[in-house]
Structure 1
């Protein structure tokens, strides 16, 4: 995670960002701190990367890379405003014992790459390129399922899919459960999701519009926006424990709970 000490909206690279709308850095810090403390209360370990002045979106650490088994595949941002974040994250990975893979293709890390069981779901359409999916497959040697986003409000995969319990079943069979927002994807991707995850939660547009799916789950506790009331009810019906954390100030920059959270899976 990264404290939003420099958070503001001074440019526009997604439909949520309106520089003319005032932002409250102190409020963003306060809300972020609640998320940080919630993770600790749930028993998770949290590590911090230092914020860099002039990089207001660095708080959205999910975009900084993708980490499996101690290997960190670095980010290569589409927009120049976020470009300098990439070397900062790669330096952090290297100094904390991860094997760093320098990317060739444009990709925005765990914003577009989600591990579901032993399969990587990979988004494209607005930020990460198709070529990055092939690069991802070469780096990690796992199945990569490409999904195309078509609604500009949901420009990263983690705004339209939430992996609820990333479990691999007997014989490597993928038993991960997910929630997703169907209309955020093209028809082919909707068919793929329906076939691979027939028991998935299908979220409403109302819950998607408050970044309800931009959530973080440990398999039982699912940290979500308190405004995603329908999604909260769906989770309870399935036996999950929704944990409500308001990041409304950070939504002004186009990010939510998962955007502010990069999972570190295994250290070299």
Structure 2
């Protein structure tokens, strides 16, 4: 597919994804009140525990309206995640066969729960993060937190964790599309583990190492699961190419005995 066609396809997919988010945002507008109450609850709990004034502050006349728009958009991203994740897959894998495109159902089936699991883990960490960060308020002082700043903090945290949990699915998608071999992912496993722990340390503002480890380990496990699936896919592709008399995609040579074994495993 030429570059121009890729750009046209990208524009179409982005438009459709944005349309789905807009529909989700309309739904989010009507469920704003209970969602905002849930967002505010960690601050209210901390305020009650410490007998201090810790609350959200709406500084401007239109701030409350702007807040509702942003929360609605944020909910639209969450609600429409199956839709825009599908279009992400459809753009990455336009050249697959009809059989391979059926993997889209598996992609959505894995991506949506993983995205929601990452978002749920961020929500689980949020009350502890709020409690730790507000502990630095001096005795006798009030902590009126700007509503926009607090919302941005929560949205970045939830979306970052949700997208981090999508990494294994994207790895498998790129492998199925033939863009990245499993060996490429395997060579960078040390960097992947390091980045998982760095990401967890940055995104969890709590000072304890246990929370960081609890968040980093699932990302590492998902990475290695994706790596294993990529190796299985590459092995099957190479076996089919060898059976057809074609070289492997990585250009390596194999002896006849290995070829026969690979073909037997592939038929099995």
TM-score by length of 1: 0.24
Higher helix proportion (structure 1 or 2): 2
Higher strand proportion (structure 1 or 2): 1
Structure with larger Rg: 2
TM-score by length of 2: 0.24
